[in-house]
Structure 1
Amino acid sequence: MAPNAAIITNQLAPGTYMTMVATVAATAGGLYGYDTGIISGALPQIAQEFDLGYRAQELVTAAILAGAVFGALSSTYLSAKLGRRVTIMIVAGVYSVAVLAAALAPGPWFLAGARFCLGIAVGGSTQIVPAYIAELAPPEKRGSLVTYFNVSIGIGILLAAVVGVAGHNLFTWRWMFGVAVVPSILLLLGMIKLPGSPRWLVEHYRPKAAAKVLQKVRETSAEVRAEISDMQEMVGRINEQPETGWRAMRQPWLRPALIAGLGVAAFTQLSGIEMMIYYTPTFLKDAGFGPVAALWSALGVAITYLVMTFVGKLIVDRVGRRRLSLLMIPGAIAALLVLGAVLHFDLAGSLQPWWVVGCLIVFMVFNSGGIQVVGWLTGSEIYPLSIRDQALGAHAAMLWGSNLLLTGTALSVTKALGVGGAMWLYAGLNALGWLFIFRLVPETAGRSLEDIERSLKDGVFLPNRQVRPQPFQA
């Protein structure tokens, strides 16, 4: 270990401490995954208890997404004024109250309102947690650390699928919702002892406090001094600008980062991932599976999501964000095209249910191991400090707005086009996403946040103008 590595009150090595910080903060991702994914197993019970048609089911399902758009935008003010850590604690409190309200809902409108409030916490956590981890992480490990959030989402989705399967016989949907209060409280308590963001501290003229934080997560004092100096230089430039925040986002030099980041956010959801998670049991029942078999198959899809996001976490710093997306999206397109053909033309006969499951799992392999790993990570890296809070809010709002659009229309689209036609539509959206990333999204692996910002200033941000960085080698 480097000689200055142990300036740490808790005696943890910097890498270990940083991993602990990322793990605790990423609990918010598990809440997001569980609270959005649990509707898959709970919706049949809810529809039966409240006698809901398919449009009412869409409303209950999509209410959390509408809340997430609002939460993503409103949390920008809190994160800028109070800091990342305090905002995460507020989000954890909202999670706790909202899941209990949903569990106690006396009717569908109350349930939709509770899920809207739950969405505020979901949107807030997705706006702030990746940024919090990214602002603490060393550049060469930033991808693997930020994607703890993705892995935690996968764990939450898997737990939701497990509870959905068990709940078919053992639990009511109210217990399925209410159990999430436990990790919500644990997140709130865990964040009390964690450090603040050093970049936020420097931005608020507290460089000594920022240096103290960085000493816990960097190996040497030289690294700490260099980063603090870099941050102070960037803050100095911000102070010289006539506009900051939302108004600053209109400046031409920021446009490439906003287009790239918001585009990735949109295609992360327009690729169809959340819609698949929410409605897999419904699609499988339409394909001939019984209710129990459909839930077990949804569990397999959730396991695939978790495994592939973990694999993506392990390789994203070496392969690169842009390259990983470009390699994986074609596999997702192929899976959706085949799935659409199987369903539309009834190609597999009696084996159709198993072809459907196979295509869904293949889609999950390529989608969750590719653009899903990159979506939140890109937002945490690509925006300059002067607009980071506001841009991250817009990033999360774009992601949740796209999710709301897709999920809120999924059952209507499948009724209009058939499930097969809907799969072809989503394949086309994946193809558009590949073209967008190829043309407009640069590689950010192994680069400091300040270096990415300089590339914008120097006009070398876009892929065709960028000096290709060397992948980090362990």
Structure 2
Amino acid sequence: MTTTTTDDDHVAGVPTAIPDDTGAAETAQRAKRHVTRVAFVAALGGLLYGYDTGVISGTLIEIGKEFSINSGVQELITASILVGAILGAFLTGPVSARIGRRRAILIIAGVFALGVLFAALSPSPLFLILSRLFLGLAVGGSTQTIPTYIAEIAPGPRRGSLVTVFNCAIGVGILAAALVGVTLNGAVSWRFMIGVAVVPAIVLLLGMLRLPESPRWFVAQDRIGPARRVLRWLRPDDRTAEDELDEIRELDDAEPHGGAGQWAQLRKPWVRPALIAGLIVAAFTQLTGLEMMIYYTPTILTTAGFPHVYSLWANVGVGVVYLVMTFVGSRMVDRIGRRRLTLVMLPGAAVSIGLFGALFAANGGKLSPVVTIVLILAFMFFQAGGIQVVGWLVGSEMYPLRIRAAATSLHAMVLWGADLLVTSTALSLTGWIGLGGTMLLYAALNIVAWILVFRRVPETKGKSLEQIEKSLRNGTFLPHRTRSEG
């Protein structure tokens, strides 16, 4: 016995006939495998993001030698991908709203593939800068679309662990880039080190062809049949799928179709608490200093007395800690909660980086390399296992369906803008107030982040996307807020 569908209900990636005569346990396991496969394939975009942004640190010296360029041009080559990421985050929102999350990711995969090939074949520094700018469109687009796509596919109790597969993939990409930089530098051309990323880009493209569209996007387009098909494929039984579909439709009907565009709707008062909460997390995932450590650890360690070769290997250690703690955090986020995990880990990050700054300043700029690396890795431990885990997660789940594309675009733009700010000012700050003063500043920003998260970011653990949206509409979204106060 099978459940069939009409042509109007056909959905890419979902079979036209789904067996309904299997046992409940087998059906539930099958649905669980479907959801997991969707998350892991889509998360390849995170691996590409991590590798493409990180590989430049291991190739820049060889690029500089081949093109005979100064440090200013090298900075442009490094930063161009971040500028592209901001543009990509802005441009992908309207695209994913119009054509769907799945098709947007297919385009992103194509841009990833073309971008790394253009960069690897660059005949001049200007062409390389433009290629990395183009590649950045895919980096920013992936962070806008992929977490949202996974969140809209995932069941509420597993949403945190599934969305943070994207974070883990970023960690894999960063670590792979660090290993490539330290082991292949000088052994192969920098062009190969950059161009090899075309392989996972093609795998992402082919994998997405076999996955379905988000059921929530289908509902927003008034395509209820395809939405039902996808939910029945992803959920353990038809009753669960129908209940979720009814909840999605109820909230979709509550918001009039048409009227002001998504960007204009971001100004609505009832949306504002989610926007403030999400953008706080987006900004402070970068402003608290983690990306500065990833980009400049070799420079910091050389300043602290490490030989250059050990600094490169220490950078690999930073990548390992980032990946391990991102994985641990992703396993804990659905148990502990997003808000609680962030509040528990931020004080440790503040103490670690603050102690580094204080000791460095008190010792006149001379600090034991061993103490330095211990404090840096401790900082990475608390940062990567806390706020970094929830940065993209809260952006994928806090915003209402009707404005989700625009809101997630803004979320990604703020995050990448903060990343660009940190990247472009870290060395200047070090020159102005010293390495110790810079670390103390980042410690203070970790404290500010804790205060803002405590006051403005609610817990979303275990709630469906529709329950989160209902809390916004009835005024109980903020932490410590009751329905009567709303």
TM-score range, shorter chain: over 0.9
**Under a length normalisation based on structure 2, what TM-score does the superposition of the two structures give?**
0.92
Residue 95 of structure 2 corresponds to residue 113 of structure 1: no
- Select the residue among 295, 305, 314 that pairs with 1:278: 295
Count how many residue pairs are aligned between Structure 1 and Structure 2. 463
| Aligned counterpart, 2:330 | 313
Distance 2:305 2:61 in 1: 16
Decide which moves more: 283-292 or 171-180: 283-292
| Aligned counterpart, 1:331 | 348
Q: CA deviation at 1:291?
A: 2.5
- Select the residue among 239, 242, 245 that pairs with 1:222: 239
Distance 1:80 1:240 in 2: 13
Q: RMSD of the TM alignment (CA)?
A: 1.9
> Counterpart amino acid of 2:88?
G
Q: CA deviation at 1:6?
A: 6.0
Q: CA deviation at 1:104?
A: 1.8
| Aligned counterpart, 2:54 | 37
- Select the residue among 162, 168, 172 that pairs with 2:189: 172
Q: CA deviation at 1:289?
A: 2.1
After superposition, give the CA deviation of every residue in 1:155-193 in whole Å (9 maximum; x if it has no partner). 001100110111234123222111111101110011000
After superposition, give the CA deviation of every residue in 1:385-440 in whole Å (9 maximum; x if it has no partner). 11000000000001001001111222222222222221111111111111110110
**Other structure's SS at 1:252 match:** coil
Distance 1:235 1:434 in 2: 34
Residue 247 of structure 2 corresponds to residue 234 of structure 1: no
| Aligned counterpart, 1:206 | 223
Q: Is this contact kept in 2: 1:40–1:280, CA < 8 A?
A: no
> Counterpart amino acid of 2:386?
G
- Select the residue among 30, 39, 46 that pairs with 1:13: 30
Q: Is this contact kept in 2: 1:5–1:14, CA < 8 A?
A: no
Q: CA deviation at 1:461?
A: 0.8
Q: Is this contact kept in 1: 2:27–2:236, CA < 8 A?
A: no
Q: Is this contact kept in 2: 1:214–1:224, CA < 8 A?
A: yes
Distance 2:226 2:275 in 1: 30
| Aligned counterpart, 2:269 | 252
Distance 1:344 1:109 in 2: 40
Q: Decide whether aligned partners of structure 1 residues 94 and 28 sit closer, same or farther in structure 2, where only a CA change above 3 A counts.
A: same
Q: CA deviation at 1:52?
A: 4.1
Residue 169 of structure 2 corresponds to residue 185 of structure 1: no
Residues 52-91 of structure 1 mapped to structure 2, 5 A cutoff: 52-91=69-108
Moved over 4 A (4+): 1-8
- Select the residue among 425, 430, 434 that pairs with 2:446: 430
Specify every segment of 5 or more residues in structure 2 that has no aligned partner in the other structure, as ranges: 1-20
After superposition, give the CA deviation of every residue in 1:102-131 in whole Å (9 maximum; x if it has no partner). 112223222221111111000000000000
Distance 1:459 1:93 in 2: 42
> Counterpart amino acid of 1:194?
L
- Select the residue among 383, 400, 404 that pairs with 1:367: 383
Distance 1:69 1:110 in 2: 20
Q: Is this contact kept in 1: 2:304–2:365, CA < 8 A?
A: no
> Counterpart amino acid of 2:361?
H
Q: CA deviation at 1:239?
A: 2.2
- Select the residue among 104, 115, 120 that pairs with 1:98: 115
| Aligned counterpart, 2:359 | 342
Residue 327 of structure 2 corresponds to residue 322 of structure 1: no
Q: Decide whether aligned partners of structure 1 residues 359 and 57 sit closer, same or farther in structure 2, where only a CA change above 3 A counts.
A: farther
Residue 40 of structure 2 corresponds to residue 23 of structure 1: yes
- Select the residue among 372, 379, 391 that pairs with 2:395: 379
Decide which moves more: 411-420 or 432-441: 411-420
After superposition, give the CA deviation of every residue in 1:324-363 in whole Å (9 maximum; x if it has no partner). 00000011111111221233333796x6222221111111
- Aligned-pair identity in percent equals 52
**Other structure's SS at 1:239 match:** coil
Decide which moves more: 403-412 or 414-423: 414-423
Q: Is this contact kept in 2: 1:96–1:185, CA < 8 A?
A: yes
Q: Is this contact kept in 1: 2:27–2:237, CA < 8 A?
A: no
Distance 2:293 2:264 in 1: 37
Residue 141 of structure 2 corresponds to residue 124 of structure 1: yes
Specify every segment of 5 or more residues in structure 1 that has no aligned partner in the other structure, as ranges: 468-474
After superposition, give the CA deviation of every residue in 1:201-231 in whole Å (9 maximum; x if it has no partner). 1111111111111112111111100111111
**Other structure's SS at 2:188 match:** coil
Residue 445 of structure 2 corresponds to residue 402 of structure 1: no
Residue 204 of structure 2 corresponds to residue 154 of structure 1: no
Decide which moves more: 407-416 or 440-449: 407-416
Q: CA deviation at 1:294?
A: 1.1
Q: Decide whether aligned partners of structure 1 residues 196 and 20 sit closer, same or farther in structure 2, where only a CA change above 3 A counts.
A: same
Distance 2:478 2:249 in 1: 26
**Other structure's SS at 1:105 match:** coil
Q: CA deviation at 1:21?
A: 0.8
Q: CA deviation at 1:321?
A: 0.2
**Other structure's SS at 1:196 match:** coil
Residue 445 of structure 2 corresponds to residue 445 of structure 1: no
> Counterpart amino acid of 2:169?
S
